[in-house]
Amino acid sequence: MATYEFVLMIAPVLLVWYFAIRRGKKPSEPTTWPVLGMLPAVLLNLHRVHDYATEVLTECGGTYRVVGPRMDMLFTSAPACDPANIHHVFSRNFSNYSKGPEFHKIFDIFSDDIFRAYFELWEIHRKTTLAQLMHGDFNANLQRNVWHKVDTGLFPVLDHFSGARTDLDLQDIFQRLAFDNICKFVLDYDPCSLRPDLPFLPCEKAFSAVMEALLHRHVFPEWMWKLQKWLNVSDERNLAKAAVAFDDFIYPRIISGVNVLKAFEKVYRERNMASSNGSLRDFLKDTSLNLMFAGRDLTSTCLTWLFWLVSQNPASETKILEEMEAELRLKEDKKFRFFSAQESHKLVEMYLHGALCESLRLFPPVALEHKAPVRPDILSSGHHLHGDKKLIISFYSVGRMESVWGKDYLEFKPERWISPSGKIKYEPSYKFPAFSAGRPRTCLGKEMAFVQMKTVAAAILYRYMVRLVEGHRVSPRVLITLQARDGLKVLLSKRNWI
Ligand code: HEM
């Protein structure tokens, strides 16, 4: 039989079979293929995985089971159908949920530290970090350090590029700034990565390489990345290089008795953690790395999307400037200066706060959260979970659900966060989970991040006009953190009053 005859004969059978396996499925729902399960749909949509997940979750009622080779995950943007799901997992039954053994393997570069740890070890980390952040002069020091970085690091760099009329990548600038700030906080050392010559620091850039490789580890089966690791190629090679860069940078800067690390050192000795947590040096290195990741990647990602959203909505820029001038009386001395603790408190009540919340709603820097039950559990929505099934909560999708945010859910509307009496509106964390949901494990650096982001955003917007480079397309890169794929290329010019 000729090949074409065979194809003609088999085609109707294949079509009937295809329609049979698609029967009852919504248009965006992945097809479940024999052996491969839903993997083909996941791979085809990998470049837009967050939007794809949002489409599927919107069409399928907010919770969806994804199956494939060695893959069984329950995806949810629970508020759309049942806010009680998030409350159940993140608060009420919190003690029954860890991040699961798979998360543990995927994120091995972070060791057993605050992001990976659970139960007792996590509690030690959380309490120790919290104590540092609540320390008497923490806020005053933070504001002073952030302003110092803006004045001596950010302004010289931006003046340099605006003077030369050349474009620059704001995302890169924010990453450097956040990296310098968090190193100062954790290691009491400023690496000065934010300088006009934009030096290449392997440790600072290694974070982005890690985020990419870790996302790929979520999609590809474990044997595949173990093979890559063994052959030392591709993502696994990048991860190995990143680990070396982190070690080279952090180990020599761990100085006994300094800042945050002093408190961790004390806990390590008091609790006699040597047997279960390796040497003190390793423990302090891992602690530093975790805090540095939180400090660098998340605030810089939020600032990047804020500036992109403002560039797309020029009226919001005018509003931010008007409020700053009125609240901080900037018109009187026409010079932007460090605002005091009370003044920075005023910024909380401002449109700029709403603008940052919109950036976090539409582009949450942590787009996905993992959970896995220790004992089998039933969610409030009736879905069953057992030990080898992961629960993935899409924070990205939660911010883009019409049923949660209304018809204008895709619009950038800082007003959404301001009540009729002019105060900032509180939104529950199951509806706005950018800093994670539920009290027990919510982000510890939220206030620190807001102080930093507001100071930096206010300083740039007041001093420069920021215009996107013509033709530069901005979209999310497929990473663990939601960075912009090709950065944020802008041209700056100084305002006429500076
Ligand atoms: C816009 C900026 C930030 C966002 C959106 C953000 C978001 C988050 C999220 C979603 C989590 C939960 C992660 C998980 O459990 O897997 C988290 C945890 C955490 N964040 Fe942040 N974060 C930000 C800035 C910061 C900063 C500047 C710090 C300061 C060091 C920080 C410190 C932490 C810590 C220590 C945890 C772990 C809390 C725990 O597990 O108990 N974050 N953050």
Task: Name the residue among 179, 198, 205, 199 with its Cα closest to residue 190.
Answer: 179
The pLDDT of 222-234, averaged and rounded, is: 91
pLDDT tens for 18-53 read 888 888 888 888 999 988 889 899 889 988 889 999
* Ligand 1 neighbours by CB, cut-off 6 Å: 114-115, 126, 129, 291, 294-295, 298-299, 302, 360, 365-366, 369, 434-436, 441, 443-445, 448-449
- Write the residue with the smallest CA distance to atom 36 of ligand 1: 443
Span 260-270, average pLDDT: 85
Domain 35-494, second-level architecture? Orthogonal Bundle (1.10)
| CA 17 / ligand 1 centre spacing (Å) | 47
Per-residue pLDDT of 124-150, as tens digits, reads: 888 998 988 887 788 888 888 898 999
Q: Which of 107, 215, 298 to mutate to test the pocket of ligand 1 (most atoms within 8 A of CB)?
A: 298
The per-residue pLDDT for 317 is: 94
Specify the pLDDT at position 343. 63
Q: How far is the CA of 455 from the centre of ligand 1 (A)?
A: 19
Mention every residue, 6+ apart, whose C-beta is less than 8 A from residue 4: none
Residue 106 phi/psi, 5° resolution? -60, -45
Neighbours of 108 (CB within 10 A): 14
Q: Which atom of ligand 1 is nearest to the CA of 295?
A: 27
Q: Which of 395, 442, 443, 483 to mutate to test the pocket of ligand 1 (most atoms within 8 A of CB)?
A: 443
Q: Which comes out higher in pLDDT, residue 334 or 112?
A: 112
Q: Would you state the pLDDT for residue 92?
A: 83
Per-residue pLDDT band at 80 (split at 50, 70, 90):
very low
d(CA 203, ligand 1 centre) in Å: 20
**pLDDT exceeds 60 at position 78:** no
pLDDT at residue 79 greater than cutoff 60: no
What ligand 1 atom has the least distance to the C-alpha of 452? 27
Percentage with pLDDT > 90 across the chain: 40
Cα of 299 from ligand 1 centre, angstroms: 10
- Tens of pLDDT, residues 309-361: 999 999 999 999 888 887 776 666 556 555 565 666 666 567 899 999 999 99
Q: How far is the CA of 356 from the centre of ligand 1 (A)?
A: 16
- pTM for the whole structure: 0.91
Residue located nearest, by CA, to atom 9 of ligand 1: 435
* Dist. CA 330 → ligand 1 center (Å): 33
Q: How far is the CA of 15 from the centre of ligand 1 (A)?
A: 49
* d(CA 133, ligand 1 centre) in Å: 13
Per-residue model confidence (pLDDT) at position 379:
84
Please state the domain extents for the chain.
35-494
Residue having the nearest C-alpha atom to atom 3 of ligand 1: 298
CA angle 309-314-315, nearest 5°?
Answer: 115
Say what the pLDDT of residue 196 is.
96
Query: What does the pLDDT average to over 229-238?
Result: 93
pLDDT band per the 50, 70, 90 thresholds, residue 111: confident
